[in-house]
């Protein structure tokens, strides 16, 4: 779990501050439905290095949201499969930390999902079953393209 993230304006915030912002956002309108999503995207760089960015998104269904993001240290990856699995492992680590903090508070009902940057079209198609199973084995709901906006839109914006 990273010790800090950035908000959408690029300002640094501790995990506790991020959780406090999520809680404040959810409590501002407790009659709405909420979804907290975690997703990681990566970009392959020269020399086999990969740049990983994770997004934490709180979505007030039908009425906007907030997001936070973090770039992880670059890592050497050898295959697309290794890179996608690493994305999922990073997301799971962040998700466990964020969810543990959120569970300490009495909050409106919310869904919690891991968004994976894989889909039926393209080279990641054969990885879907394995990475979705990995997320489900950790007791989280998994979403893939086109529903995986935390990874494919938000995190992708900062890769």
Which pLDDT score, from 0 to 100, does residue 4 have? 87
Give 73-121 pLDDT, tens digit per residue.
899 999 999 999 999 999 999 999 999 999 999 998 899 999 999 999 9
Which pLDDT score, from 0 to 100, does residue 118 have? 97
Q: Is 75 left (phi over 0), alpha (psi -120 to 50) or beta?
A: beta
Whether the pLDDT of residue 18 is over 80: the answer is yes
Averaged pLDDT, 121-142: 97
Nearest to 55 by CA among 133, 127, 159, 147: 159
Whether the pLDDT of residue 42 is over 70: the answer is yes
Share of the chain above pLDDT 70, in %: 99
Q: Are 111 and 141 in contact (CB under 8 A)?
A: yes
């Amino acid at each position: 779990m990273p010790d800090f993230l950035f908000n959408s304006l690029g300002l640094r915030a501790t995990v506790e501050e991020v959780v406090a912002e999520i809680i404040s956002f959810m409590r501002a309108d407790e009659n709405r439905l909420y979804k907290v999503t975690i997703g990681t995207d990566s970009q392959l760089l020269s020399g086999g290095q990969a740049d990983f960015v994770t997004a934490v998104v709180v979505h007030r269904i039908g009425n906007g949201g907030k997001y936070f993001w973090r770039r992880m240290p670059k890592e050497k990856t050898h295959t697309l499969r290794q890179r996608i699995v690493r994305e999922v492992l990073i997301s799971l680590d962040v998700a466990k930390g964020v969810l543990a903090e959120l569970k300490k508070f009495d909050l409106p009902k919310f869904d919690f999902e891991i968004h994976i940057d894989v889909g039926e079209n393209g080279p990641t198609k054969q990885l879907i079953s394995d990475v979705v199973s990995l997320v489900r084995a950790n007791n989280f709901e998994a979403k893939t393209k086109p529903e995986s906006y935390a990874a494919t839109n938000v995190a992708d914006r900062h890769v």
